[in-house]
Amino acid sequence: MKDGSGEESNVAPSVHSYSSRPGSHRYKNAKKGLPFNLMLVGEPGLGRTTFLNTLCESTVAQPAEIPNPEQAHIAEPMRFKHYAVDMEEDGMKIMLNIVDTPGFGNGTDSETCFNQIQEYIEAQYDEVLAEENRIKRNTKFRDARVHAVLYFINPTGHSLREIDIELMKRLGNRTNVIPIIGRSDSLTPRELVLFKQRIMNDISFFNVPIYDFPNNEEDEDDETAEENAELRMMMPFATVGCEEVINQDGRPVRVRTYPWGVVQVDNDEHSDFDRLRYVLLNSHIGDLRERTQSTLYELYRTEKLSNGTAATPEVTQGAVALGMQPRSVAV
Ligand X SMILES: Nc1nc2c(ncn2[C@@H]2O[C@H](COP(=O)(O)OP(=O)(O)OP(=O)(O)O)[C@@H](O)[C@H]2O)c(=O)[nH]1
Residues that bind ligand X (CB under 6 A): 44-50, 63-64, 102, 183, 185-186, 240-241, 256
Complex with ligand X: residue 263 or 299, whichever CB lies closer: 263
Strand residue runs (E) in 239-312: 244-248, 251-258, 261-264
Instruction: Give yes or no for residue 282 binding Mg ion (CB under 5 A).
Output: no
Q: Are strands 237-238 and 92-100 parallel, antiparallel or unpaired?
A: unpaired
Q: Which of 4, 21, 64, 305 binds Mg ion (CB under 5 A)?
A: 64
Q: Which of 17, 37, 49, 54 binds Mg ion (CB under 5 A)?
A: 49
Complex with ligand X: residue 49 or 116, whichever CB lies closer: 49
Q: Which stretch binds Mg ion (CB under 5 A): 12-20, 47-55, 142-150, 183-191?
A: 47-55
Decide which of ligand X, Mg ion, none touches 183; Cβ closer than 5 to 8 Å per partner kind.
ligand X
Cβ 264 to ligand X, closest distance in Å?
12
Q: At 256, which amino acid appears?
A: R
Cβ atoms 111, 1 nearer than 8 A = no
**Among candidate residues 166, 147, 155, 173, the one with its CA nearest the CA of residue 272:** 155
Complex with Mg ion: residue 40 or 200, whichever CB lies closer: 40
Cβ 47 to Mg ion, closest distance in Å?
8
Decide which of ligand X, Mg ion, none touches 47; Cβ closer than 5 to 8 Å per partner kind.
ligand X
Complex with ligand X: residue 183 or 289, whichever CB lies closer: 183
**Among candidate residues 263, 193, 251, 288, the one with its CA nearest the CA of residue 47:** 263
Cβ 44 to ligand X, closest distance in Å?
3
Decide which of Mg ion, ligand X, none touches 23; Cβ closer than 5 to 8 Å per partner kind.
none
Query: Quick one: CA torsion of 167, 52, 256, 104, rounded to 10 degrees?
Result: -30
* Integer CA distances (angstroms), 173 to 29, 43, 118, 124, 150, in order: 30, 21, 10, 15, 14
Q: How far apart are CA 164 and CA 208, in angstroms?
A: 10
